[in-house]
Chain A
């Protein structure tokens, strides 16, 4: 199993550009989440999904869109990048039953200039 994969690993955008961060998992997990990690602020939940076709907002959803057309994929779209979105983005997947462990991808480091 590859686990949770994310692409790209690094990305630089100009203000106003849009892009999609890709996330895929091969563990057949129903639940997937997107977090952003910023120094001193920990991981903040952007959006999450409890299954194909079902998504919901987390703590900091503004400026981001998600969709979940398949169990495997959960892309995160930045509609119009802003410098405040400079961050490291992590995707995670998990099953809502024991052991409830979230499996994290390697992250995407995004810089918006």
Chain B
């Protein structure tokens, strides 16, 4: 069965700091991986996704993530955060033969202006 772990529950950073949010998944086969963001009071929206090819994936708003198959990880990074990045971030996984997408528990990111 698919599962996702996000170990950071709440991260607090100052503006311009670098960000890395951890995501580890469990699945025995090929996976598709996603990062979603939920800004306060808004819907979830897709930040980026990995399917195949280059393990370094670039998304919207300067975010990127690296798929490391040997570590079953898909960490999210941003070199310099802004106050507007304050949100909750969710990692998600879909097994390539599966019909469902499973989410992690989320990481709340707070940025100090």
Whether the pair A41, B49 counts as a contact (CB closer than 8 A) is no
Contact B105 A42 (CB under 8 A): yes
| B46 pairs with A101, CB closer than 8 A | yes
Tell me whether A102 is interfacial, beta carbon within 8 Å.
Answer: yes
**Complex alpha-carbon distance, A62 and B112, angstroms:** 40
The answer to the question of A26 belonging to the interface, with a C-beta cut-off of 8 Å to chain B, is: no
Q: Which residues of A have CB within 8 Å of B43?
A: 104-107
Interface residues of A in 1-50 (CB under 8 A from B): 31, 33, 35, 40-45, 48, 50
Interface range on chain B: under 10, 10 to 19, 20 to 34, or 35 or more? Answer: 20 to 34
Residue of chain B at shortest CB distance from A30: B99
Which residues of A lie under 8 Å from residue B9 when comparing CB positions?
40
Could you tell me if B100 and A48 are in contact, using CB atoms closer than 8 angstroms?
yes
Determine the chain B residues whose CB is within 8 A of the CB of A44 once the complex forms.
Answer: 103
A-side residues, CB < 8 A to B, are 31, 33, 35, 40-45, 48, 50, 56, 58-59, 90, 92, 94, 96, 98-102, 104-107
> Which residues of B pack against A, CB within 8 Å?
6, 9, 32, 34, 36, 43-46, 49, 51, 90, 94, 99-106
